[in-house]
């Protein structure tokens, strides 16, 4: 039994793309191993030790559960929710939907595998809204390809996204504290 797990196996187990695995391995400063596998036909593939793979899986399991003030702040931080048309010239109804802190970097990452990928739309979004936005945008008239890739009516995706973000607070909106709030003394 191997003492490592490939990035592909981790991506499949967690339900994300390999680029998400790479980004989080880098963010967590985990040591990458290059190993030959039974299915790699002699090529080296990126892997993690079993311990590091378990650390990464734990990170994904806990990433949406704030357990400190700084974790809570990260979920309140605004980034961007986006819809990317992956291969417009071949599959115009196939899109990647997701969240990012950096639109330019995210598009470049997608363009390594899909060079003609383009943004169809993006909206300011809190990290904590990511799953709700995805669920709302993909609730009807589309089908899941894999992970965050869908096929469906492009106008439908964009209209549902606009509807969702039109009712969400803007990044400039500030919640007014009650005069009775114990938080008032902290400000």
More confident residue, 163 or 38: 163
Q: How buried is 180 (Cβ within 10 angstroms: 0-12 exposed, 13-18 middle, 19+ buried)?
A: exposed
Q: Do the Cβ atoms of 56 and 10 come closer than 8 Å?
A: yes
Residue spans per domain, the chain: 4-62, 73-167
| Domain covering 4-62 in this structure, CATH number | 1.10.1660.10
pLDDT of residue 63: 60
pTM: 0.60
pLDDT in tens, 57-95: 888 777 645 454 444 444 457 889 999 999 999 999 999
pLDDT at 33 over 60: yes
pLDDT in tens, 127-136: 889 889 999 9
Instruction: Give the DSSP letter of residue 138.
Output: T
């Amino acid at each position: 039994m191997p003492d490592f797990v490939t990035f592909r196996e981790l991506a499949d187990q967690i339900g994300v793309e390999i680029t998400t695995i790479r980004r989080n391995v880098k963010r967590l400063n985990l040591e990458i191993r290059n190993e030959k596998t039974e299915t790699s036909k002699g090529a080296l593939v990126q892997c993690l030790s079993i311990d590091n793979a378990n650390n990464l899986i734990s990170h994904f399991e806990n990433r949406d559960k704030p357990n400190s003030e700084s974790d809570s702040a990260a979920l309140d931080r605004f980034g961007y929710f986006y819809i990317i048309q992956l291969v417009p010239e071949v599959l115009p109804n196939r899109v990647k939907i997701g969240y990012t802190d950096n639109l330019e970097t995210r598009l470049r990452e997608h363009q390594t595998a899909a060079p003609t990928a383009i943004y169809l739309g993006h909206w300011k979004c809190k990290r904590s809204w990511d799953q709700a936005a995805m669920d709302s945008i993909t609730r009807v008239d589309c089908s899941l390809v894999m992970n965050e890739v869908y096929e469906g009516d492009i106008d439908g995706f964009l209209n549902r996204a606009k509807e969702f973000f039109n009712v969400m607070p803007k990044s400039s909106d500030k919640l007014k504290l009650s005069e009775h709030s114990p938080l008032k003394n902290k400000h």
